[in-house]
Structure 1
């Protein structure tokens, strides 16, 4: 391997941590596993990150940023379709991201660094939902009966609740039912 400067090596380690997170989850994110995937010595991981939890948190934030930046519906989609996609895409390719998000939620109760990362990613999601709603209003597709930020939080809360019910495996809430409930509430919130 050629010489890498500090930032390049740090980025390689972070990318390896992201791969481990998506493929195997938080529990697999050990220093030894990440170092192996990054093809570096375990000491390099410790050198570039103050703790494994710092590395996990930063990798999680980057993974969720990639999820939020994914363009599932394309430029020709309506603002309603874009909003629905941002809130609850049924694209199976996103399942590793969703699993990681669920795992982070559980870990956030025990680990302050993971909690901070989880809170930050919720705020990032909120910003993206607000952006879509604002653009939908500006395009004349959405009408508001409340503050955009409040609507965005209610929609996110609905999705989190529906996801929690879906994880339980309740037959009444399959992917189609999830989409119907989400679409119904989008209609109630933004089509007055």
Structure 2
């Protein structure tokens, strides 16, 4: 493998990681596998990433970084309440034609990262993702307040956490097979939640 500047080599590694994760699964992003894809030694990968966990965590970040500008731009075409429902319920089918397979990869990657969230590096990337989601929810709530759609006296910081906690709780119940007892799908659950919060 020819000499490259550090940033250039790191970019090449990340491109290989994203490509492997998109084709296969997050677990396939091992140091050895990336080294094989780039025809280099595992040591060259370890020079940039201390472990496979760090490599996988960076893969989660990288896929979302590549998707985020397009996804946020599409979200902002929606009115505030519809934007909240879309973000909180994961109903991105309205954007399927515009985002396409990248969104499917991102959704799968998020679920896989959630399954291995106890790994410190992965947990950190999940926390960053939830932080970005919270920022977007706060912005949406503020947009709705300014448009006169949502109550002007909302505590958007607290409400953003309530909404995230409720929807993540729904996902946990779905994971263990108990969400069906709520008698509704996630989008309807989010609609009901927003109504109860006066939105």
Same fold (TM over 0.5): yes
Tell whether 2:173 aligns with 1:172.
Answer: no
Counterpart contact for 1:72–1:85, Cα < 8 Å: no
Aligned in 2, Cα 1:76/1:121: closer, same or farther, shift over 3 Å?
closer
Counterparts of 1:162 and 1:75 in 2: how far apart (Å)? 25
Aligned to 1:59: 59
Q: Structure 2: state its 5+ residue gaps.
A: 94-100
Structure 1's 76 and 26: CA in aligned 2 closer, same or farther, altered over 3 A? closer
Distance, in Å, in 2 between the alignment partners of 1:31 and 1:97 is: 21
Aligned counterpart in structure 2 of residue 158 of structure 1, from 160, 166, 179:
166
Is 2:31–2:55's contact at 8 Å kept on the other side of the alignment? no
Answer yes or no: is 1:124 the counterpart of 2:125. no
> Could you state the TM-score of these two structures normalised by the residue count of structure 1?
0.80
* Partners of 2:33 and 2:24 in 1: CA distance: 10
Deviations 1:71-97 (A, max 9, x none): 485554211111222222333653432
Unaligned runs of 5+ in 1: none
More deviation, 71-80/139-148:
71-80
Match of 2:109 among 74, 82, 100: 100
- Conserved? CA contact 2:113–2:122, under 8 Å: yes
CA contact (8 A) 2:86 2:92 kept: no
Give the whole-Å Cα distance in 2 for the aligned partners of 1:14 and 1:79.
34
The alignment's C-alpha RMSD in Å is 2.9
Query: 1:143 is matched with which residue?
Result: 151
Work out the number of aligned pairs and report it.
189
Structure 1 segment 71-90 matched on structure 2, within 5 A: 71=72, 73=74, 75-90=76-91
Change (3 A) 1:152 1:67: farther
Which residue pairs with 1:91 in the alignment? Answer: 92
- In structure 2, do the counterparts of structure 1 residues 126 and 68 end up closer, same or farther at CA, with 3 Å as the change threshold? farther
The yes-or-no answer on 1:50 pairing with 2:50 is yes
TM-score, scaled relative to structure 2? 0.78
Is the 8 Å Cα contact of residues 57 and 122 (structure 2) preserved in structure 1?
yes
Measured at CA, do residues 158 and 64 of structure 1 come closer, stay the same or move farther in structure 2, by a change above 3 Å? farther
Conserved? CA contact 2:49–2:55, under 8 Å = yes
